[in-house]
């Protein structure tokens, strides 16, 4: 318990420093030693297979941190707050992997979260953590490693994923081999939004029609529309309307109270290993203005993104039809794929939503056809009778 009181004393002193004052070398080393000792003990509910702590070999200060190196690990201490922002081990080759019949036989997600919360508190943070994503990577058949990303919230508001911790675990024992955080962000002064989630969603849906016409999208499950401390990063923007100095906010780790959401573009075929094709929309939670739209980015050197036509598989469940700002909801409706279509009339923009799927389509009333995509990727579907009635009723009001 003595180490806990010492950590509290160090952090308490750090928090009372004036902005121009920095934590000294001696305090930083002492803080790093205590954190390394914790990471190599069973206090965090970990089973320790190898002890990576030891004598200090090097200390330097750079980029707002004290970097304290031990014989087999290193710890980064924020030079203003005293928080531990990273811990890296120099473990033997393949120590991070374990032979398992399946990843379910290793460390559970609940155990990962429990350990991460203890590590996060010991590092000096008080925010709440929940599981965001885990990757049971498999470098060879039956051999697994484990890396987990966590959501971070304060007062019910999520932090941008740029400020959320990542931990690498030994997949059986739970020993933490790597922990990393970006520097703590500067949060906005006010955290009470003036724009509701419903209003923000309306702004996003309008933007979808503008920037992704004739598109087929689905809400990315891990990044649904919600209030966040958003950090203006380095995405591939197609629209930007920022009422602040972007470079300054990026450089100083400043955040904005905003609603943001990511949609997966079902027509994109991303290169192997690049992850899903995501559109990103950000709405200011105070003014309600659209701040940023980012398009899917295949990554450096990946070449042009390939696309595929939509197969008109909407899945089961109720469907919402929006045309001209008016919405009609149906408990049962479907669209059948049509091999060819050649409507001679102009199409009417319509938004179809079923579960997480969103279609920005065109409806041709006389031919009773829907279309999405353009050129060779344009595909047609024919609404069933229930959907046809709703579409014609809305089109008549246009």
Q: Which residue has the tokens 């941190």?
A: 65
Q: Between 183 and 20, whose confidence is greater?
A: 183
Packed helices 109-122 and 25-39: angle between N→C axes, nearest 10 degrees = 160
Structure tokens at 19: 């902005």
Angle at 254 between CA 253 and CA 258, to 5 degrees: 130
Confidence at residue 16, expressed as pLDDT on a 0 to 100 scale: 43
pLDDT for 341 beyond 70: yes
Is residue 196 very low, low, confident or very high in pLDDT (cuts 50, 70, 90)?
very high
Which pLDDT tens digit goes with each residue over 68-118?
A: 999 999 999 999 999 999 999 999 988 999 888 888 888 999 999 999 999
pLDDT at 18 over 60: no
Report the alpha-carbon distance of residue 327 to residue 329 in Å, rounded.
Answer: 7
Q: Which residues of 6-32 are buried (b: 16+ CB within 10 A; e: fewer)?
A: ebeebbeebeeeeeeebbeeebbbbbb
Other CB atoms within a 10 A radius of the CB of residue 173 amount to 15
Instruction: Kindly report whether the global pTM for this prediction surpasses the value 0.75.
Output: yes
Give pLDDT tens digits for 221-268: 888 999 999 999 877 889 999 999 999 999 999 999 999 999 998 887
Residue 1: the pLDDT is 37
């Amino acid at each position: 318990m003595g180490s806990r009181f010492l950590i509290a004393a160090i952090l308490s002193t750090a928090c009372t420093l004036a902005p121009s004052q920095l934590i000294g070398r001696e305090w930083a080393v002492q803080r790093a030693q205590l954190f390394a000792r914790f990471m190599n003990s069973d206090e965090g509910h970990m089973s320790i297979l190898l002890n990576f702590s030891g004598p200090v070999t090097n200390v330097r200060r750079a980029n707002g941190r004290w970097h304290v190196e031990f014989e087999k690990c290193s710890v980064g201490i924020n030079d203003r707050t005293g928080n531990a922002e990273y811990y890296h081990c120099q473990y033997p080759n393949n120590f991070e992997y374990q032979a398992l019949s399946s990843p379910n036989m290793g460390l559970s997600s609940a155990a990962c979260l429990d350990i991460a919360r203890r590590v996060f508190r010991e590092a000096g943070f008080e925010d709440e953590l929940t599981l965001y994503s885990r990757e049971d990577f498999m470098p060879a058949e039956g051999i697994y490693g484990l890396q987990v990303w966590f959501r971070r919230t304060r007062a019910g508001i999520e932090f941008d994923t740029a400020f959320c911790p990542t931990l690498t675990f030994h997949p059986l024992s739970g020993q933490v081999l790597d922990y990393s955080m970006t520097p703590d962000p500067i949060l906005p002064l006010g955290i009470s939004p003036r724009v509701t989630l419903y209003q923000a969603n309306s702004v996003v849906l309008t933007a979808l029609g503008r920037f992704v016409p004739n598109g087929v999208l689905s809400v990315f499950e891990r990044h649904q529309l919600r209030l966040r401390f958003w950090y203006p990063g380095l995405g591939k923007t197609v629209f930007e309307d920022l009422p602040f100095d972007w470079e300054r906010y990026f450089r100083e780790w400043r955040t904005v109270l905003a609603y943001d959401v990511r949609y997966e573009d079902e027509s994109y075929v991303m290169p192997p290993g690049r992850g899903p094709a995501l559109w990103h929309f950000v709405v200011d939670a105070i003014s309600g203005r659209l701040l940023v739209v980012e398009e899917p980015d295949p990554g450096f050197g990946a070449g042009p993104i390939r696309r595929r036509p939509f197969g008109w598989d909407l899945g089961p469940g109720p469907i919402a039809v929006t045309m001209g700002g008016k919405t009609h909801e149906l408990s049962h409706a479907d669209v059948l794929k049509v091999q060819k279509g050649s409507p001679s009339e102009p199409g009417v923009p319509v938004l179809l939503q079923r579960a997480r799927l969103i279609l920005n389509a065109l409806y041709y009333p006389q031919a009773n056809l829907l279309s999405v995509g353009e050129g060779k990727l344009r595909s047609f579907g024919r609404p069933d009778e229930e959907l046809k009635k709703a579409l014609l009723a809305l089109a008549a009001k246009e």
